[in-house]
């Protein structure tokens, strides 16, 4: 076998290896993106009802933010209890503005 034939064969093998690797990596990337999308959707579904909110104004001290978060949690619990036992008086425990707790520093 001549040197030129050997070089051609090596180039063919190298190209096949390179192309196979590109295809494999692309498949892995697609699977990873699909898995990430599925996990993000699952996370959003499980945490949608657990959004951290507070009644404290923006820039309030941490104690006020935590107290506002407790107030929101109590209001959510009251609404959940009301949903379980219909016919009880309907009272909204939140009469102030509710905002994401992340914006206030919690």
Q: Is 54 helix (H, G, I), strand (E, B) or coil?
A: strand
Query: Do both 72 and 106 map to the same domain?
Result: yes
> Which tens digits make up the pLDDT trace of 51-90?
677 778 888 888 888 888 888 888 888 887 877 766 555 4
* Same-domain status, 56 and 38: no
Shared-domain flag, residues 30 and 66? no
pTM, 2 dp: 0.38
Domain count, the chain: 2
Based on the fold, state whether residues 59 and 22 are members of the same structural domain. no
CA dihedral 74, 105, 51, 98 (to 10 degrees): 60
Q: In which band, very low, low, confident or very high, does the pLDDT at 9 lie, cut at 50, 70 and 90?
A: very high
> Where in the sequence is the domain holding 32, given as residue range(s)?
1-50
Residues 27 and 73 in one domain: no
46 and 65 fall within a common domain: no
Query: In a 3-state reduction of DSSP, which class is residue 88?
Result: coil
Same domain, 2 and 28: yes
Q: pLDDT tens digit string along 13-40?
A: 999 999 999 999 999 999 999 999 999 9
Q: What is the pLDDT of residue 83?
A: 75
CB atoms inside a 10 Å sphere around CB 67: 15
> What secondary structure does DSSP assign to 1-20, as a single string?
--HHHHHHHHHHHHHHHHHH
């Amino acid at each position: 076998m001549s040197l030129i034939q050997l070089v051609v064969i090596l180039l063919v093998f190298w190209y096949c290896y390179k192309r196979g690797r590109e295809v494999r990596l692309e498949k892995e990337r697609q699977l990873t993106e699909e898995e990430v999308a599925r996990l993000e959707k699952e996370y959003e579904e499980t945490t949608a009802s657990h959004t951290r909110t507070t009644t404290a104004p923006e820039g309030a001290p941490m104690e006020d933010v935590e107290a506002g978060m407790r107030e929101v949690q109590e209001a959510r619990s009251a609404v959940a209890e009301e949903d379980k036992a219909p016919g009880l008086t309907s009272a909204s425990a939140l009469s102030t503005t509710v905002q994401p707790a992340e914006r206030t520093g919690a």
